Amino acid sequence: MSAGSAVCTTCPRHCAVAPGAMGACRARTNVDGAVVPLGYDHVTSLAVDPIEKKPIARWKGGSTVLSLGSYGCNLRCPWCQNHGISQVGEGEVPWRRVSPQEIAALAVRLNHEDPRMVGVAYTYNEPLVRWEYVRDCARLVHDVGLSNVLVSAGCVSAEVVQTVAPLIDAANIDLKVFRSKTYQSLGGDLAAVQETIRLLAATPTCHLEVTTLVVPGINDTDEEMDELSSWLVSVDPGIVLHVSRFFPHWRMQDRGPTSIARVYELADVARRNLAHVYTGNC
């Protein structure tokens, strides 16, 4: 580690960040020996979405949420559908500064205009690379009586999850695959994601759902889906699983979409273990 570098503990990568440099997520930097979020309140995306789009299937159905995203991600999934913001850093995408106070005030105004708008979702890129911003927004959103939704790949430290979990009312964690080596090829860590799911499942105030995108040739076997769903039921039989269809995108244009029949078959495999299994993108 070079002189003046500091180790980031936000995720399992444990980047050694030199002064003024960025971590692998392109969202954290070293300022005076401390690793802090780069662009703490920089927002690239702000929209009102149906809760089902997150996807959340069994919590406040028919409601909407104010969805916000920034830039950066600590994973490198070649099929990323949001690569235009998740795989870029400071100066590579337009953004605007929106404080936590402004987010809470906007959520209140939108709720007054339409009571179906129930809170704020932290989504689009990986929100937990700026977990401090999520924490600060979520506290204020709770203070005004609204809800918080987290959509994350979950590849972060247990300390980060333990900090934000009490503030989250519903979460969807993207469980990419159920093979450690495949996670490593994406820049992630299966054990860390599993711990995130365990911690959120153990948080009594948090409703938890999980999504697995079925990518041909990557994670589309009956065996892997059976192992994945068996593990989820061992954590909490009430966990909701979304089995979702892949479409070619970004750096993975070398194969066609997952067949709809295969998505349905793998959903049926998961239903051998889990009571609540949904299909997506079909």
Looking at the predicted structure, is the pLDDT value of residue 271 above 70?
yes
Across the range 175-199, mean pLDDT stands at 98
Across the range 33-41, mean pLDDT stands at 96
pLDDT tier for residue 1 given thresholds of 50, 70 and 90: low
d(CA 68, CA 121): 6
d(CA 100, CA 130): 13
Across the range 83-102, mean pLDDT stands at 95
- Give 123-180 pLDDT, tens digit per residue: 999 999 999 999 999 999 999 999 999 999 999 999 999 999 999 999 999 999 999 9
Asked whether 122 and 56 are in contact (CB, 8 A), the reply is no
d(CA 47, CA 45): 7
b/e for 84-106, b at 16 or more Cβ within 10 A? Answer: bbbbbbeeebebeebebeebbeb
- Give 194-203 pLDDT, tens digit per residue: 999 999 999 9
Q: What is the pLDDT of residue 91?
A: 87
Q: What is the pTM of this model?
A: 0.98
Looking at the predicted structure, is the pLDDT value of residue 12 above 80?
yes
Specify the DSSP element, H or E, that contains 174: strand 170-174
d(CA 244, CA 255): 16
Looking at the predicted structure, is the pLDDT value of residue 75 above 90?
yes
Residues 6+ apart with CB under 8 A from 28: 8, 10, 15, 17, 22, 35, 36, 37, 38, 72, 129, 130
Looking at the predicted structure, is the pLDDT value of residue 71 above 70?
yes
d(CA 5, CA 242): 40
Question: What length is written for the chain?
Answer: 282
Give me the helices (H) in 144-282, please: 158-164, 180-185, 190-201, 222-235, 260-271
Angle between helices 131-143 and 100-113 (to 10 degrees): 40
Q: Which domains does the chain have, with CATH numbers?
A: 40-280 (3.20.20.70)
Looking at the predicted structure, is the pLDDT value of residue 3 above 80?
no
d(CA 27, CA 34): 14
pLDDT tier for residue 22 given thresholds of 50, 70 and 90: very high
Residues 6+ apart with CB under 8 A from 209: 55, 56, 57, 58, 59, 170, 171, 172, 173, 239, 240, 241, 242
Looking at the predicted structure, is the pLDDT value of residue 4 above 90?
no
Residues 6+ apart with CB under 8 A from 130: 27, 28, 37, 39, 40, 70, 72
